[in-house]
Structures are given as C-alpha cells and as structure tokens.
Amino acid sequence: MTNTNNRSAGLVRGALAALALAVAGAAFWLTPAISAEDAVKIPPPAIDEKAATGSEKAIFAGGCFWGVQGVFQHVKGVSKAVSGYTGGAKDDAVYETVGTGRTGHAESVEITYDPSVVTYGQLLQVYFSVAHNPTQLNYQGPDSGTQYRSTIFAENDAQKKIAQSYIAQLDKAKVFSEPIVTTLETGKTFYPAENYHQDFLTLNPTYPYIVYNDLPKVANLKTLFPALYSEKPVLVLSASN
C-alpha cells in the first residue's frame, strides 16, 4: 500500500477486480489466478539451518507488509508475525515518514518461529515463492519506492549464508523469468508498526487492496505448501490483549 497515487491506483485496480469477481460469482479468496503476481513453484534450499529447539526470529521485506504478514501468520511453526519497519533510524519508524522513501526503512515483517517445526530455509521458500515477487526492484505490484524493496534482514551469519546460497541456487535454476533482486542487510533493528497495520489482512478481508493483492497469496500458500499451512492465523493484537 502507498500514501499517494500508487495507493489510489492500487485501490482502483482492487475495486475493479472485486467487482468483476462478484459479477462472475467467483470465490476470489480461493482463486490464486486473480493475483497481481502468480506464485512460482520453487525447490527447497539446498542449504538450511540445523535442527534446533526454542524460538528464532527472521525479518523479511517484500512490498506492503499487510500481505507478507498475512502469509506468515498462516505458516505452521510461526508463533508471531509483526508488521514494522527495518533499515532506518528509530525516530523515522513512522508510517507517514517511511512513506517518503527517504528513511532507509523498508516495510517488513518480524517472524518468530520454532525451527523444529519450520526451518529458516522453509520460511525463505515461502517468502520467494508466495509472499512476494523477488524480481521486482523497489516495487511490488502497485506500490513503488525503496520502502517496498525486496530485502532479507539476516539476524546472524548463518541466516545470511543460507539466504545467499538460496538466491544463487534459484538464479542458477532460472525458476523466475528475471534475476532475483532481493538484497541482504545485516545489523538492522526492527521497529513494530502502528497497531492499525497489525493483522490488517485478517481484519479487513473485503478491503479491495487485500482482495486483489494479498488474499491470493494466502490461497497460494495453502495450495503450494499444504504441509506448512495453518488455517488459523496467529494474530498480533489478540496476543497482546
């Protein structure tokens, strides 16, 4: 989602898509084909983290955080997925400020997960395949600007190594029609976004932007990764109440 004309354009497209689907009587939430970008079936990473217990964190940026959060809230082994900002200063971690594209921040999602249930490599597989299009440079669908860049914020050297290896693996296999432009950033702090951005997909399933851009991602997750899919999302706001 964007603050200015990009948001308006996205909403217009979403409204038209929703209207067309209503006329056709289609169940848009079960129809991946209406997505702005189709998911791509990709192989698992050749290198992954070792089995571990406890919980770990991963931070991914891939366009509007509404959809990225919504996808990972439906992944088994994920106990929390929080929308926020990563890459810039604490004082700039405000939606309107980040929207200028001049803060260094990217809309991102911090994922807390159990590596004994879902590995970092599996999260990356979902990220590249379902959550966004990793070949789009500084934009996703109707949203443009560096705040919508495709970036993996590695928490440690192990995550960085796995991500670098996987990007090279996918590019070599040419699973995408264009090269992957996803960047790797380290040593960055995650700042949670405002409450009104949390759980946005779940709370606003008929919002045109969500209908057109994001609900198909959840449907694709269910179709392509049935073993990882959880019907009930883990929500931020309910967990904090």
Q: Write out pLDDT tens, residues 48-105.
A: 998 788 999 999 999 999 999 999 999 999 999 999 999 999 999 999 999 999 999 9
Catalytic residue among 34, 39, 58, 64: 64
- In whole angstroms, give the CA distance from residue 227 to residue 213: 23
Whether 64 is catalytic is yes
- In whole angstroms, give the CA distance from residue 97 to residue 25: 40
CATH number at residue 205: 3.30.1060.10
Based on the structure, what is the number of domains in the chain? 1
Q: Can you tell me whether residue 109 is helix, strand or coil? A: strand
- In whole angstroms, give the CA distance from residue 147 to residue 56: 25
Q: What is the mean pLDDT of residues 206-231?
A: 97
Which of 116, 83, 69 is CA-nearest to residue 213? Answer: 69
Task: Give the domain extent around 227.
Answer: 5-240
> pLDDT digits over 26-42, tens only?
333 333 334 456 899 99
pLDDT, position 238:
73
Q: Does this model's pTM top 0.95?
A: no
Least confident of 5-9, 88-92, 179-183, 231-235: 5-9
- In whole angstroms, give the CA distance from residue 114 to residue 78: 6
pLDDT, position 37:
63
Task: List C-alpha distances in Å: 138 to 65, 134, 153, 171, 210.
Answer: 14, 10, 15, 19, 20
pLDDT, position 38:
81
